[in-house]
């Protein structure tokens, strides 16, 4: 089992009564509840609220061994995995290593526009966002100040929409009182999406509702617009130059590098094409689940979306196949297996405070009720009772008084943003000599 | 106001009705509740549970401006502070920048034996401790495995005692079920103290109770022992070589570098000697409070201890002086001011689960009641109602099921400990070829 995300965890759980040894390998020691990662990035939740150590998740499943390490390659002919400098043999393999963000060939943008896939990513974004306001407070130059207060979110999927809404919430409601000089409510949040609508994975109704809700909050939404260039102080969206210090990358995903080592069919994003049984055609002992798999649902012929539900359902599906075959000591073969059908349980995205859009059971709705549903579903799916309680408390708190509890800047100051200068105006009791521009 | 710790925050609060501009400068954006920092290091609490953004603390005190930056020098003659590349003038100065840990001239030990003064320090220790267990799980060599499971805590003050107790709790109760091969209950925790008793700042009774409680938990306590040397795989305590991968430094403090720039009287640890009014003799406009000050209490002639209560009381004392002098527009002079008296409200230290030692009001006691008192006092002094609630929930949870909610390893793998290798034994369904020693 490579990957301790939704797919990996649900596949392993199905094997709890099987007579086998399961090795769960992940490059992090924790499972992350990805849908709430943007809340860590925007200081609403602490990392440990949405993450659980994989070892603790499988504490009671005796046949599971957790390995902290990165699988860099798999050799399907020799049935081996490369983990660091070690090579491990397997009998059955489930790849659930997911995707990472891609800059469409512009890897030079990475330091300028961090993506959001891991807890470390989220903490880096949180650090940058909070530092931007700190720097703006003491920036005497109006143009530079405006640039520090401009946040460009690239990508209009759920992560982009939720990030943009949360940033606006911070700037307009959470922190204005904390700053003395800068008016943080003047911050500009710009959401850039290449497609002709936001949330392309949801209904047209939801897309329209999301766009107008964001615009009412004061967020600029640019559709059919691609980021073409970035330099130190600006982002180019189409032909337009947007002076902005802060860019957050929520566009484009690509399979982890491991996928390229297999020598099997991949799609344009490097994801692995699997058969109806979620196994790689010709390799009935190698399954791929979650974001890393290109899977066509058997019921309606559409592609299974790269969302938590897709990973959970594929993981459980593969876990059941394995449990059955192990029980009967059946030969592994594509033919005897059922075909995977995706059950669309709906999609939703939250937009700022107490508002969301949801597509559930054929209906599409927006507003407070959608947000309540969103909250309920997300808390229900969190792993661990403790995390559920803590997230609910944090949210209630935030909802009541607009505070965000995790506004800590950790890590060295200025290691990425170029230092925080205490530039101060001449003032009654304190005067500053500026030795730099 | 340099420093947003206990001293700084309490001094500033006293100025809330004064007609002045207060600048609070700290190199972190958050106030940390230091007495609970070891709980972040041992994965019991999340960083944001014990920290509050300084800006948020003074959100409603309009005369306060918060500056994120490090004061590297102060010129008392010219009345200026150096912050990064800027120079700021002041009329009145309060230094509350605290102390940092010192290796008594052995600075080469720093990467091997991290100290515990900031949230970043705590996260680094947490990362190392959790990684040590992960590595031990896959270490086939018994000697190396024992070394990975040996934790040496240097320093028998409150931090050292509490760290040692918490490490034993983790190894013996929290994680044994999560590991399949290694027996984490076999971990060795060694507490090394140079003095002839633990908790030198507390009563003899408390010292004795703490030592026997730790020993009953299975911790080795070495008194009158100094660390003389460290190499990559061992710590030398006196003449004894202790093979150990993990060392935590809770000994020795030294004033921050800023103190050396003043050109005034300092003690051996670099702390600044102040007069009865907490101002530097000859500089009635420069106060020093908290750990950074060497202050003799006016009531009993003893030195004010470097604990939270000392900082809080000195901070409030100086804040009151400033408020009074600003109100009357009185000249700043040592003579007209009261002398600082420290009110010893008692001291306590927790030892493992539901046990503590306490010296309060002349009495000394140990056990469950002391722990209840410890818990109550610590929660009461946390800043912010939200933090209080979250800490109480985390503690209740932990007390009930021995779980620790914040067992996340963040940051790059192996950047300090030399990589995590998935060394696996030959096994039913998986076999490993080892390509390295």
Beta bridge partners of B64: B22
How far is A375 from A369, CA to CA, in rounded Å? 10
Inter-chain contacts counted by CB atoms under 8 A, chains A and B: 221
- Please say if the pLDDT value at position B325 is more than 50: yes
Give the span between the Cα atoms of B259 and B236, in whole angstroms.
Answer: 32
Mean pLDDT of all residues in A81-90: 91
> Do B98 and B221 belong together in one domain?
no
Which pLDDT value is given to residue A434?
A: 33
Does a structural domain hold residue A230?
yes
**Chain A nearest C-alpha distance from B182 (Å):** 11
B431: left (phi over 0), alpha (psi -120 to 50) or beta: beta
Total domains in the fold of chain B: 2
DSSP letter at B166 equals: H
Q: Residue B31: closest CA among chain A residues belongs to which residue?
A: A408
CB contact under 8 A, B28 and A67: no
pLDDT digits (tens, 9 = 90+) for A1-39: 788 899 999 999 999 999 999 999 999 999 999 889 999
- Distance, in angstroms, between A319 CA and closest chain B CA? 17
**B41 phi, psi to nearest 5 deg:** -65, -25
Task: Specify the pLDDT at position B255.
Answer: 93
What is the reported pLDDT for A353?
74
Cross-chain residue pair B48–A409, CB shorter than 8 Å: no
The catalytically annotated residue of A124, A137, A139, A162 is A162
Tokens read off for B310: 């000392």
CB-based contact A424 B60, cutoff 8 Å: no
CA atoms within 13 A on the CB side of A431: 5
Question: Is the pLDDT reported for residue A156 higher than 60?
Answer: yes
Greatest pairwise CA separation for chain B in angstroms: 83
Q: DSSP 3-state helix, strand, coil percentages of chain A (rounded to 5)?
A: 35, 25, 40
> Do the Cβ atoms of B60 and A175 come within 8 Å?
no
Mean pLDDT across the stretch B195-211?
93
> Best interface-test mutation with A: which of B94, B134, B178, B401 has the largest number of A CBs within 10 A?
B178
Rounded mean pLDDT of A32-60?
Answer: 89
Please give, rounded to a whole number of angstroms, the shortest distance from the CA of A223 to a CA of chain B. Answer: 35
Nearest to B48 among A46, A85, A389 (CB): A46
Mean pLDDT of A349-371: 85
Among A195, A218, A250, identify where a domain stops. Answer: A250
Residue contact A435–B177, C-beta within 8 A: no
Q: B228 and B261 share a domain?
A: no
- Spell out which residues of chain A touch residue B56, defining contact as CB-CB under 8 Å: 178, 403, 407
Percent of chain B residues past pLDDT 70, beyond the cut? 90
Residue among A177, A397, A422 whose CB faces B86 most closely: A422
Distance (Å) from the alpha carbon of B45 to chain A's nearest alpha carbon = 9
Q: Give me the catalytic one of B139, B162, B169, B245.
A: B162
Q: Could you give the CA distance from residue A344 to residue A294 in angstroms, rounded to a whole number?
A: 16
The answer on A160 and A134 residing in a single domain is yes
For an interface test with A, which of B387, B422, B431, B437 has the most A Cβ atoms less than 10 Å from its Cβ? B422
Q: For position A429, what pLDDT does the model report?
A: 32
Order of strands, sheet of B71-75, starting from the edge strand that comes earlier in the sequence: A432-434, B86-89, B80-83, B71-75
Which of the pair, A137 or A389, is modelled with greater confidence? A137
Q: B319: domain CATH number?
A: 3.50.50.60
Buried b (16+ CB within 10 A) or exposed e, A262-285: bebebeebbbbebbbbbbbeebbb
Q: Which of A301, A336, A371 is the last residue of a domain?
A: A336
B68/A433 Cβ within 8 A: no
pLDDT at A419: 31
pLDDT at B254: 92
Are both B229 and B132 inside the same structural domain? yes
Q: Lowest mean pLDDT: which of B303-312, B410-419, B420-429?
A: B420-429
CB-CB contact of B392 with A54 (8 Å) = no
Instruction: Count the residues in chain B.
Output: 437
Chain A: give the shortest CA distance to residue B8, in Å: 18
Predicted TM-score (pTM) of the model is 0.86
- Helix, coil or strand: residue B85: coil
Give the residue carrying structure tokens 């996260």.
Answer: B123
Cβ–Cβ < 8 Å for B62, A409: no
Distance CA A343, CA A366 (A): 22
Check pLDDT > 50 for residue B434.
no
**Cβ contact, residue pair B49, A53, below 8 Å:** no
pLDDT of residue B147 exceeding 90, the answer is yes
Q: Is residue A34 part of a domain?
A: no
Cβ atoms A91, B429 nearer than 8 A: yes
Higher pLDDT, A337 or A361: A337
B65: closest CA of chain A, how far (Å): 7
- What is the domain range of residue B243? 107-251+346-401
Instruction: Report how far apart, in Å, the C-alpha atoms of A244 and of each of A58, A149, A415 are.
Output: 44, 7, 19
Interface contact B409-A28, CB threshold 8 A = yes
What pLDDT was estimated at residue B401? 62
Residues sharing a CB contact under 8 Å with residue B283, sequence separation 6 or more, in sequence order: B76, B264
Cβ separation A29–B130 shorter than 8 A? yes
In a domain, A426, yes or no: no
Centre a 10 Å sphere on the Cβ of residue B391 and count the other Cβ atoms it contains: 22
pLDDT of A201: 87
A411 membership: H or E segment, kind and range = none
Within 8 A of A181 by CB-CB distance, chain B residues are 65
Please judge whether A85 and B435 are an interchain contact, meaning their C-beta atoms are less than 8 angstroms apart: yes
pLDDT over 60 at B59, yes or no: yes
* A155 and A241 inside one domain: yes
Q: How confident is the model at residue B430 (pLDDT cuts 50, 70, 90)?
A: very low
Instruction: Based on the fold, state whether residues B153 and B173 are members of the same structural domain.
Output: yes
* Same domain? B225 vs B323: no
Structure token pair of residue B56: 């948020």
Out of B23, B51, B420, closest to residue A68 by CB: B420
Quick one: which of A250, A322, A300 has its CA closest to A96?
A322
| Helix, strand, coil percent values for chain B (each to nearest 5) | 35, 25, 40
C-alpha to C-alpha distance for B3 and A31, rounded to whole angstroms: 37
Judge: B21–A429 Cβ closer than 8 Å, yes or no: yes
CATH number at residue B185: 3.50.50.100
- Residue B432 pLDDT > 60, yes or no? no
- Residue entry with tokens 């936001």: A198
| Residue B425 CB neighbours (<10 A) | 10
- Residues of chain B positioned with their CB less than 8 A from the CB of A437: none
- Tell me the percentage of chain A whose pLDDT exceeds 90: 63
Higher pLDDT, residue A425 or A294: A294
Name which of B19, B52, B68, B89 to mutate to probe chain A: the one with the most chain A Cβ atoms within 10 A of its Cβ: B68
| Contact check, Cβ <8 Å, B393/A397 | no
Candidate from A51, A88, A390 with C-beta closest to B424: A88
Q: Which residue of A has its CA nearest to B423?
A: A86
Between CA A399 and CA A394 the distance in angstroms is 9
Domain-ending residue, one of A303, A336, A369: A336
Query: What is the C-alpha separation between A140 and A142, in angstroms, rounded?
Result: 6
> For residue A429, which residues of chain B lie inside 8 Å, CB to CB?
20-21, 90-91
Contact B436 A53 (CB under 8 A): no
Distance CA B176, CA B184 (A): 5
Instruction: Answer for the pair B383, B48: CB distance below 8 angstroms, yes or no.
Output: no
Query: What is the distance between the alpha carbons of residues A28 and A119, in angstroms, rounded to a whole number?
Result: 10
For residues B233-250, average pLDDT? 95
Check residue B417 and give its pLDDT: 29
Per-residue model confidence as pLDDT tens digits over A402-426: 667 677 777 654 433 333 333 333 3
Which residue of A69, A70, A424 is in closest CB contact with B88?
A424
**Alpha-carbon gap: B31 to the closest alpha carbon of chain A (Å):** 9
Same domain, B151 and B240: yes
Is the model's pLDDT at B159 over the cut of 70? yes
Residues A300-322: tens digit of each pLDDT:
888 999 888 999 999 999 999 99
- Among candidate residues A235, A233, A231, A232, the one with its CA nearest the CA of residue A222: A235
B418 Rama sector, left if φ>0, alpha if ψ -120 to 50, beta otherwise: left
* Inter-chain touch A431–B178, beta carbons under 8 Å: no
Q: For testing the chain A interface, which of B410, B412, B413, B437 should be mutated: the one with the most A CBs within 10 Å? A: B410
The minimum CA-CA distance between A59 and chain B, rounded to whole Å, is 5
Nearest to A30 among B25, B59, B408 (CB): B408
Cβ atoms < 10 Å from Cβ of A177 = 15
pLDDT of residue B412: 54
- Side-chain-side CA neighbours of A289 within 13 Å: the count stands at 34
In the residue annotation, A77 being an active-site residue is answered as no
The contacts of residue A418 (CB under 8 Å, 6+ apart) are: none
Model confidence pLDDT, tens digit, residues A173-212: 889 989 999 999 999 999 999 999 999 989 999 999 999 9
Nearest to B180 among A65, A84, A88 (CB): A65
Average pLDDT over residues A126-138: 94
Examine the domain organization and report whether A121 and A171 are in the same domain: yes
pLDDT over 70 at B109, yes or no? yes
Taking CB atoms and an 8 Å limit, are A87 and B56 in contact across chains?
A: no
Average pLDDT over residues A279-284: 95
> What pLDDT is stored for residue A385 in this prediction?
61
Listed residue (A153, A163, A125) closest to A416, CA to CA: A125
What pLDDT is attached to residue A189? 97
Say if B234 falls within a structural domain.
Answer: yes
Alpha-carbon distance values, B22 to A5, A53, B280 (Å): 48, 44, 20
Same domain, B357 and B386: yes
Residues B246 and B225 in one domain: yes
Q: What is the pLDDT of residue A103?
A: 92
Closest CA to B181 of B228, B212, B148: B148
Average pLDDT over every residue of B72-94: 93
* Residues A125, A116: Cα–Cα separation, whole Å: 8
> How many Cα atoms are found within 13 Å in the side-chain-facing hemisphere of A233?
7
When the pLDDT of each residue in chain A is averaged and rounded to a whole number, the result is 87
Is residue B339 in some structural domain? Answer: no
* Sign, Cα dihedral of B371, B377, B382, B388: positive
- Both A10 and A123 in one domain: the answer is no
Distance between CA atoms of residues B99 and A290, nearest Å: 50
Side by side, which strands form the sheet with B246-249?
A: B220-222, B188-192, B150-154, B246-249
Interface test with B, best of A89, A119, A399, A410 (most B CBs within 10 A): A410
Nearest CA in chain A to B387: A405
ipTM of the complex model: 0.82
**Taking residues A353-368, what's their average pLDDT?**
85
Bridge partners of B71? Answer: B83
Q: What is the pLDDT of residue A270?
A: 95
Distances (CA, A) of A97 to A71, A166, A289: 9, 28, 8
Has residue A118 been placed in a domain?
yes
Examine the pLDDT at A365 and tell me if it is beyond 90: no
Q: Would you say A143 and A136 are in contact if contact means Cβ atoms under 8 Å apart?
A: no
B432 lies in a domain?
no
pLDDT at B270 over 90: yes
Cβ contacts of A69 on chain B, cutoff 8 Å: 413, 420-422
User: How confident is the model over B360-412, as pLDDT tens digits?
Assistant: 878 888 888 888 888 888 887 776 666 776 777 777 666 666 666 677 777 65
> How far does the CA of residue A423 sit from the closest CA of chain B (Å)?
7
Mean per-residue pLDDT over chain B, rounded: 87
Considering the domain boundaries, does residue B98 fall inside one? Answer: yes
Asked whether the beta carbons of residue B84 and residue A386 sit closer than 8 angstroms, the reply is no
| Rounded alpha-carbon distances, angstroms, from residue B341 to A94, B5, B303 | 68, 20, 10
Q: Which residues contact B434 (CB under 8 A, 6 or more apart)?
A: A86, B423
Tokens linked to A284: 């009935």
Comparing A201 with B141, the larger pLDDT belongs to B141
Report the alpha-carbon distance of residue B290 to residue B271 in Å, rounded.
10
């Amino acid at each position: 089992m490579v990957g301790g995300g939704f797919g990996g965890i649900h596949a392993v759980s199905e094997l709890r009564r099987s007579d086998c040894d399961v090795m769960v390998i992940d490059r992090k020691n924790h499972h992350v509840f990805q849908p709430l990662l943007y809340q860590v990035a925007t200081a609403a939740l602490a990392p440990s609220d949405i993450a659980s150590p994989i070892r603790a998740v499988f504490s009671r499943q005796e046949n599971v061994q957790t390995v902290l390490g990165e699988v860099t390659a798999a050799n399907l002919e020799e049935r081996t995995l490369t983990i660091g400098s070690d090579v491990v043999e397997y009998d059955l393999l489930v790849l659930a290593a997911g995707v990472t963000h891609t800059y469409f060939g512009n890897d030079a943008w990475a330091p300028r526009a961090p993506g959001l896939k891991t807890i470390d990513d989220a903490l880096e974004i949180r650090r940058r966002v909070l530092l931007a306001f700190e720097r703006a407070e003491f920036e005497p130059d109006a143009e530079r100040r405006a640039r520090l207060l401009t946040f460009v979110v690239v990508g209009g999927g759920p992560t982009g929409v939720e990030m943009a809404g949360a940033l606006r919430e911070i700037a307009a409601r959470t922190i204005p009182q904390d700053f003395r000089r800068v008016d943080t409510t003047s911050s500009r949040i710009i959401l850039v999406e290449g497609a002709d609508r936001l949330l392309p994975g949801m209904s047209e109704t939801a897309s329209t509702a999301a766009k107008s809700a964001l615009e009412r909050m004061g967020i600029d939404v640019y559709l059919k617009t691609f980021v073409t260039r970035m330099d130190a102080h600006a982002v180019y969206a189409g032909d337009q130059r947007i002076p902005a210090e802060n860019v957050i990358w929520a566009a484009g995903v690509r399979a982890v590098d491991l996928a390229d080592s297999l020598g099997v069919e991949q799609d344009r994003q490097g994801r692995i094409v699997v058969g109806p049984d979620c196994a790689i055609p010709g390799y009935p002992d190698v399954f791929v689940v979650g974001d890393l798999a290109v899977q066509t649902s058997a019921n309606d012929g559409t592609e299974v979306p790269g969302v938590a539900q897709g990973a959970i359902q594929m993981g459980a599906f593969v876990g059941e196949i394995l449990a059955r075959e192990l029980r009967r000591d059946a030969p592994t073969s594509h033919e005897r297996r059922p075909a995977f059908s995706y059950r669309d349980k709906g999609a939703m995205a939250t937009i700022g405070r107490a508002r969301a859009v949801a597509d559930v059971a054929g209906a599409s709705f927006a507003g407070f009720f959608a947000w309540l549903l969103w909250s309920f579903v997300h808390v229900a799916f969190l792993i661990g009772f403790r995390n559920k309680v803590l997230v609910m408390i944090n949210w209630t708190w935030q909802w009541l008084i607009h505070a965000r509890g995790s506004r800590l800047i950790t890590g060295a100051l200025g290691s990425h943003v170029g230092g925080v200068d205490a530039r101060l105006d001449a003032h009654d009791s304190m005067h500053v000599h500026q030795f730099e521009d």
